[in-house]
Amino acid sequence: MQNQARVVWEQRWHPLREEWVLYSSHRGGRPWIGDTHAPQEESAPSYDPTCALCPGNKRLTGANPRYEGAYCFTNDLPPFSNEAPAPLEADDFYSALQVAGTAEVICYHPDHAKTWVDLTDEEVLAVVELWRERTQELGARPEIDHVLIFENKGSLVGTSNPHPHGQIYAGNLIYGHTAREVQSSQKYFERTGRLLGQEIVERELAGPRVIAQNESFLACVPWFARYAYEVLILPRRQMASITDPDERERTNLGLMIREVATRYDNLWQMPMPYVMAIHQAPTDGQEYPAFPFHIEFHPPLRKPDTMKYLAGPEIGGGSMTNESNPDEKAAELRAVSPIHYKSNSQ
């Protein structure tokens, strides 16, 4: 790209969240005397007798069956449950709401050592199918307004257990980013008659930030990225939820996630930590035809040994600073191989 070394020092409008993001890419290489993290090669055994997610092992309540594919169970300590107590005290000012719903854990694979990058085509599809089934079933329950599917990967985002898994929080709460996206997509449609998600797809396809694509989805570091290596997976046609793609598109979604995970690992030849979240329309009984279904990856690292710390401007001030140029970060992720560095064949 021509403008690879271009400094981005400006504010950019985040069209999904409707907020300004501050870019100061000239600060990315500043002297750093804070914490660094040794790039760790996480090598785990295929089965760990102490892992609460491995097949056959005991959990806090009960035990896992000897499952063979993707496997889903109710979280032993769910943040959402229909058994939550009534609020202790509440009034019009300090208002509170009784919690309802459920939370589930999805093991992607029985093998403790695998991650997305190791799954076969059939295995990635199996995970996507389970997401779809769970969203359909949980979303149909009257007390569940939103099904949030996410994955925390790596110890830097607080996951001590490497067993490949993600989670579902489904309750009487529409999570904040999704609530914002409901608003932003609705407003955009009313103002322009156009779909916000498809507008972003069009812009990104025309720009230098696409890192991978297939006939159904594309992956990009968006123009408005909040994190250095943030990636969005967007559908090439309007979809509001994981229940919208057909089987071929679901396969393509699984393959796209695997490619993103592979490119991440190849970037620094180490397992890349991230928070992944699936943003899909609420299930509160209303229609959201303009909602922009997409998957977000937020990696906490800006260099192999350096975290993007959320501090004064982010935690204290409430606005994100990105010390990088999204065009450059996309070029880095595009330049690495789509074949995992640890795989000999494939």
Binding site for Zn ion (CB under 5 A): 48, 51, 53-54, 112, 163
47 vs 150 by CB, closer to Zn ion: 47
Smallest gap from Cβ 259 to Zn ion, in A, equals 25
Q: In what order do the strands lie in the sheet with 146-153?
A: 71-74, 101-107, 165-171, 146-153, 274-279, 294-298, 231-235, 217-220, 210-213
Q: Smallest distance from the beta carbon of 112 to Zn ion, in angstroms? A: 3
62: left (phi over 0), alpha (psi -120 to 50) or beta: left
Residue number with CB closer to Zn ion (163 or 308)? 163
Cβ nearer to Zn ion, comparing 53 with 256? 53
Give CA–CA dist 72/89, Å, rounded.
35
**Helices H / strands E in the chain, number of each:** 5, 14
Q: For the CB of residue 127, give the shortest distance to Zn ion in the complex, in Å.
A: 16
Do residues 223 and 295 make contact, with C-beta atoms less than 8 angstroms apart?
no
Q: What radius of gyration do the chain's Cα atoms show?
A: 20
Question: Where does residue 193 rank: exposed (0-12), middle (13-18), buried (19+ CB within 10 A)?
Answer: exposed
Of 88, 91, 103, the closest CA to residue 144 belongs to 103
- Do 232 and 210 form a contact (C-beta atoms < 8 A)? no
Please name the residues in contact with 268: beta carbons below 8 A apart, sequence gap of 6 or more. Answer: 39, 304
Q: Among the options 165, 279, 294, 340, which is catalytic? A: 165
Distance CA 284, CA 187 (A): 19
CA dist 216 → 213, 226, 337 (Å): 8, 25, 21
Give the residue among 324, 326, 319, 327 at the shortest CA–CA distance from 20. Answer: 319
Which residue's CB is nearer to Zn ion, number 50 or number 346? 50
> To the nearest whole angstrom, how small is the minimum distance from the Cβ of residue 115 to Zn ion?
12
Buried b (16+ CB within 10 A) or exposed e, 6-17: eebeeebebbbb
Please say whether the dihedral angle defined by the alpha carbons of residues 79, 85, 87 and 88, taken in this order, is positive or negative: negative
Taking the least distance from each CB to Zn ion, the nearer of 54 and 201 is: 54
Q: How far is the CB of 107 from Zn ion (least distance, A)?
A: 8
As measured in angstroms, the least distance from the Cβ of 160 to Zn ion is 12
| Residue closer to Zn ion, measured from CB, 67 or 189 | 67
Residue 26 catalytic?
no
Question: Which residue, 126 or 144, is less far from Zn ion as judged by CB?
Answer: 126
Phi–psi pair at 120, nearest 5 degrees:
-75, 170
Strand pairing class (217-220; 231-235): antiparallel
Provide the minimum distance between the beta carbon of 215 and Zn ion in the complex, in angstroms, as a whole number.
35
Which residues are the active-site residues? 165
